[in-house]
Amino acid sequence: MSGVDLKLAVAPLTTGVVGTALPRVDGRLKVTGAARYAADQQVAMGPAAARVLHGVALCSTIARGTLLSIDAQEALALPGVVAVLTAQDLPKLKKAVADFGTTSQPGEARLLFADDKIHYVGQYLGVVLAERREQAQAAAARVKLRYLTEPPVITTEAAMPTAYTPGTGFGGEPSYRRGLPEREFADAAFKHKQTYRTPIEHHQPMEPVASIAVWSGDELTMYESTQWVAGARSVISQMLDLPVEKVRVISPFVGGGFGCKGFIWPHSLLAALAAKKVGRPVKLEISRQQLVSACGHRPETLQTVALGASADGQLRAIMHSSVSQTSTVDEYSEEAANVSRYLYRCANVQSVNQLVKVNIATPTIMRAPGEAPGLFALESALDELSYQMKLDPVRLRQKNFAEQDPLHQRPWSSNQLRECYLLGMEKIGWSQRPAKPRTLRDKNWLIGYGMATATHIGFRSPGAAKVTVQADGRVLVQSATQDMGTGTYTILTQLAAAELGVAVEQVTVELGDTRLPPAPMSGGSMTAASVGPAVQAAAQHAISQLKVLAARDPQSPLHSKRPEELGVDHGALFVYTQQQQRESFTALLRRLRLPSVVGETSVDAPENNAVSIQSFGAHFCKVRVDAELGLVRVAKHVAVLDVGRVLNPLTARSQGHSGVVMGIGMALMEQTRYDARSGRPLDDNLGSYLIPTQADVGDIEVAFVQTPDSHIGPHGARGLGELVFTGVAPAIANAIYNATGIRVRELPITPDKLLR
């Protein structure tokens, strides 16, 4: 046995299964329509009395005031209408304990039907139930609502006199300070101070949110479009005062979320309460128009950034303040200023996040909360400073590269940002960028180049999984995580296949059901890092049992072998020193007449207080701007990302493309405007809320600087769902300035802002 490594031997992750561009294993289900999302679920198809009722929410049409009455007589007389339920018909909900570290939380702190006060347009006032959805929609339009109306507060400027500093949020303390930023700014050789604005943006997932509630006695099954089945079950059980084991949440497929499906919103509780009241399943689908108030949005931010630098380009001071909107019934802070605390090396930093309360629905997390708007302000300000200093924007960032985390004063777990800069410059053709704006043309098109840094924390949470190795050679992987279209089914298939040494075709993955081992929210770019290690550990647990079975079986060619002497490959156990001495999982289990072995584990997130786990990247952009019309075309965008190890280049690049496309929308199109007098949203449909189409997207190239990060987990992969998006909007804005010489500090950058 001399010279043989006797460590626990499983199929190494470098065998080609992991790291391979495997097409999505759920792809066929999706393109054929066989993948069922929340609203597609078929429930209670028996007698008419058990069939699902369709619900349409009754929503307030004013932004502030008091509800005086609801007249549903005309609605109840319409064909197919079963009930119109309001606060008088439904029981009161209980408060849920909100602990985002271990469970989900309500999207809105105010309880459904808490009182008769109206706080925003779209607030739930009741629900119409009918046999068909069209009947419910027609009836809802006939319900008469009477109010006592008060003038709403809608704009940040109107609410500014009552601005305040919130409590501790997702990003930590709202205020932070190190060094003497005011003094260093005053003494700096170069100074820049400007205000930047980002608008209200809505998530607009392909699949609008929906809930189906089905009661069986005192047990509730919810089919939910949710990013966290386990968290949803916890909150729903608390608010309905049910034992958690009496609630089951199912969500096998999610058609995008971007954060709006991360928490439990009132529509889910309304569906459950209504179904209990009428004794029939209730399906409540939220319309595209209702999405503007149903499940959050990214709030408007007003940010001021002040930068001071020495003559050689070293940052001496960073002061970043942000005011964002929250609702009058809750406190959500976007924390846009936090990114300035750690991204660049600077000894003197101050960042402050404040809130103003407005009569608009409660905001929520949206892809890269905090970083996305915060980087627009910070990276735009750095670009402006670079022009003032006559210093290349990349060079300015290279000069201020943070060798270690300046916020926590500890090393990065891994940081390949320098390499991202260099590769991005090469791929975009940075040498062609003109130092002077508005000097590069192609006939009537002005051409410009811009760049920005991207960053996002490397999250990992506890996760659990079960891996069943069956006697027929099949492998079943189960976990109560979710796939929002990012490829979770596929990468978990790859990880299990690699550990067990089997073909990916032998592996089936089941997700999105609270009866499976618990897993965290699919958000914060944490799913791969949290659930992946659990799948690996569960597979190892199954292998260890197979080794024991083989060693104890006198008929096995591996009889009496120690576990550390055995390796795994091609669905079989083998002896390291005599690799022809082997036995397949199938032969072993069939001989022992065992249907399967089951490995199940729960893996905690390691406490890496000695290092800071962060992902980095660089976005480079080339734009073309019509000099007469102000039309912007993103001709080419290059995203170079440092996310540790890439488990599947195909699905990773797909996420990269999605982030760039969403960033184009943030930079050039997306905004939800409100009537300041009535508080009504003006962009509540995809006709006026613009998102990029095929014609708006040019050439996108996504590249990865792969350095496995051993601190985050055994496969060394950090999440990339947010990183691919952060930094896109400022890169485009900076390229537009390089093309036109016009600096736009308010998103979106629409043609009217470039016609000067």
Residues pairing with 255 in the sheet: none
**Tokens found for residue 1:** 């046995």
**Tokens found for residue 463:** 């996760």
Q: Which residue has 């390291």 as its token pair?
A: 576
Q: What is the DSSP string of 236-299?
A: HHHHTT--GGGEEEE-S-----TTTTSSB-HHHHHHHHHHHHHTS-EEEEPPTTTHHHHS--BP
Rg of the chain over CA atoms, in angstroms? 28
Q: Assign residue 750 a region (left: φ > 0; alpha: ψ between -120 and 50; beta: otherwise).
A: beta
Could you tell me how many helices (H) and strands (E) the chain has, helices first?
A: 16, 29
Q: Strand runs (DSSP E) across 131-209, as ranges?
A: 144-149, 175-178, 190-198
C-beta neighbour count of 722 within 10 angstroms? 27
What's the rounded Cα separation, in Å, for the pair 466 and 481?
Answer: 12
C-beta neighbour count of 228 within 10 angstroms? 28
From residue 446, how far is each of 388, 390, 432, 527, 665 by CA, in Å?
21, 21, 14, 42, 21
Q: What is the DSSP string of 537-565?
A: HHHHHHHHHHHHHHHH-TTSTTTT--GGG
**Tokens found for residue 17:** 């299964």
What's the rounded Cα separation, in Å, for the pair 465 and 535?
Answer: 5
From residue 225, how far is each of 211, 231, 286, 287, 522 by CA, in Å?
7, 13, 11, 13, 12
Q: Let me know: does 720 contact 656? Beta carbons within 8 Å.
A: yes
What's the rounded Cα separation, in Å, for the pair 374 and 176?
Answer: 15
Non-local CB neighbours of 535 within 8 Å, separated by 6+ positions: 465, 467, 477, 479, 492, 495, 496, 499
Residue of 134, 121, 573 lying closest to 362 (CA atoms) = 121
Non-local CB neighbours of 593 within 8 Å, separated by 6+ positions: none
DSSP H/E element including 708: none
What's the rounded Cα separation, in Å, for the pair 345 and 190?
Answer: 17
Non-local CB neighbours of 673 within 8 Å, separated by 6+ positions: 199, 200, 681, 682, 683
HEC secondary structure over 52-117 = CEEEEEEECCCCCEEEEEEECHHHHCCCCEEEEEECCCCCCCCCCCCCCCCCCCECCCCCCCCCCE
Count of residues in the chain = 756
> Which residue intervals of 295-411 are DSSP H helices?
371-389, 393-399
Residue of 255, 272, 227 lying closest to 39 (CA atoms) = 255
C-beta neighbour count of 580 within 10 angstroms? 7
C-beta neighbour count of 56 within 10 angstroms? 25
Output the CA angle 202-206-212, nearest 5 degrees: 100
Which residues are tagged catalytic? 722
What's the rounded Cα separation, in Å, for the pair 679 and 360?
Answer: 7
C-beta neighbour count of 85 within 10 angstroms? 21
**Tokens found for residue 573:** 């156990």
